Amino acid sequence: MSFYLSMFFMPNQTIKTPCVGLCSTVYGDLVCRGCKRYHHEVIQWNGYNAEEKQAVWLRLEQLLVQVMTSKLDVFDPQRLRQQLESRKIRFMPHQSPYCWAYQLIARGARVITKLDAYGLVLLPEFREHSLADLRDGIDREFFLLSEAHYQRYIAPRFLKESFGPALIATL
C-alpha cells in the first residue's frame, strides 16, 4: 500500500475519495453539496496524482475546521478517536480532531445525548440547538465556505484560461 493511501486507512477500510454519495455536480452545481469539492475535482479525481488529491483534502480540512472550531471544542481527542473506532465511524487519523468530530456528528446527531462522552463540548451559543440542527447548519456553512472559495479563487482563473483576458476586461 502506498504511503498516501496508508494515511487514509482504517481497519478494513480505505478512504480514497471525499465523496459521500450525495453528488450535486451532476445537477450543475459548481460545488458539490455532498463532499464540497469543485465540479472539476469530482470529474477529474481519478486522474489526479497524490499531490493534487492531497491539496484537495487539505483545503476541505481547513474549511471544515474553520466551521467546526466556531461551534465546539474538542477537549479530549483520544476519547473522540476511541469512540469513532469503537462505533466503526470512518475518519482520517491524520486530519484534525475537528474533522473527526464532524464525522461523529454527521453519523450520530440523532442518537448522541451526551456529547462530552465523546470528548466534545458545544460552545455556549450552540448548546440550545439539537445536534441534528447543528449538523445541518455546519453542513450549510461548510458548503457556503467552499462555494465562496470557489468564486474567489477558482472561477476567475477558469474564465481567464477559457476565454482570455479580453472577456475578463468586459466583465
What are the pLDDT digits (tens) for 24-36? 777 778 999 999 9
| Residue of 3 and 171 predicted with greater confidence | 171
Range of the domain at 83: 3-170
Average per-residue pLDDT for the chain: 86
Alpha carbon of 126 to those of 72, 89, 99, 112, 140: distances in Å?
Answer: 8, 24, 18, 15, 15
User: Worst-scoring range by mean pLDDT, 11-15, 44-48, 61-65, 89-93?
Assistant: 11-15
pLDDT at 7: 38
Number of domains composing the chain: 1
Compute the distance between CA of residue 145 and CA of residue 10 in angstroms, rounded to an integer. 28
What are the pLDDT digits (tens) for 60-76? 999 999 999 999 999 99
When pLDDT is averaged across residues 95-107 and rounded to a whole number, the result is 97
Compute the distance between CA of residue 55 and CA of residue 51 in angstroms, rounded to an integer. 6
Residue 135 has pLDDT above 90, yes or no: yes
